[in-house]
């Protein structure tokens, strides 16, 4: 007796189920069409019509008015929108020492950024000056020799 390898093979955990599905499909294909339709109707329940949930739909007010009774004004009176009250975050008292630390950290960042910018500009100027004063025998790439 031969044991199918899919029973113990866990590289594909759905192999056994897929094999059973293929077998069921071949059996269904071999049945006569009338018997196949009857069997499918018994096994598969009808899919219910999908109802949309009222939480997702926007609120809509429908009003029917006879055309001869309508004076052309607004049909629905707008209700005032419900205000949404969110709790406000109350800032707690911060001691002056902590404030000084925070200000110092921010100032350090600002100074570092400015220094980085100046170093960048200085290096750029240096490169430009080097390009202007070049030896004739081995000029830098992109520079004009004297």
Where along the chain do its domains lie? 5-43, 99-134
CA 72 – CA 74 distance, rounded (Å): 7
Low-confidence stretches of the chain (pLDDT < 50) are none
Give the contacts of 134 (CB within 8 A, at least 6 positions apart). 140, 143, 144, 145, 146
pLDDT score recorded for residue 69: 64
Q: What is the pTM of this model?
A: 0.31
Separation of alpha carbons 52 and 89, rounded Å: 37
pLDDT at 39: 81
Spatial neighbors of 131 by CB under 8 A, at least 6 apart, are: 140, 142, 143, 144
């Amino acid at each position: 007796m031969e044991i199918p390898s899919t029973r113990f093979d866990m590289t594909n955990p759905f192999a056994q189920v897929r094999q059973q599905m293929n077998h069921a499909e071949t059996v269904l294909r071999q049945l006569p069409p009338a018997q196949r339709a009857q069997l499918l109707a018994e096994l598969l329940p009808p899919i219910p019509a999908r109802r949309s949930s009222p939480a997702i739909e926007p609120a809509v007010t429908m009003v029917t008015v006879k055309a001869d009774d309508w004076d052309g004004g607004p049909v629905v009176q707008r209700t005032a929108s419900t205000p949404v009250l969110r709790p406000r975050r109350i800032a707690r008292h911060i001691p002056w020492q902590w404030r000084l630390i925070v200000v110092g950290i921010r100032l350090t960042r600002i100074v570092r950024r400015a220094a980085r910018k100046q170093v960048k500009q200085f290096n750029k100027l240096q490169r430009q000056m080097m390009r202007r004063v070049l030896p004739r025998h081995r000029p830098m790439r992109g520079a004009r020799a004297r």
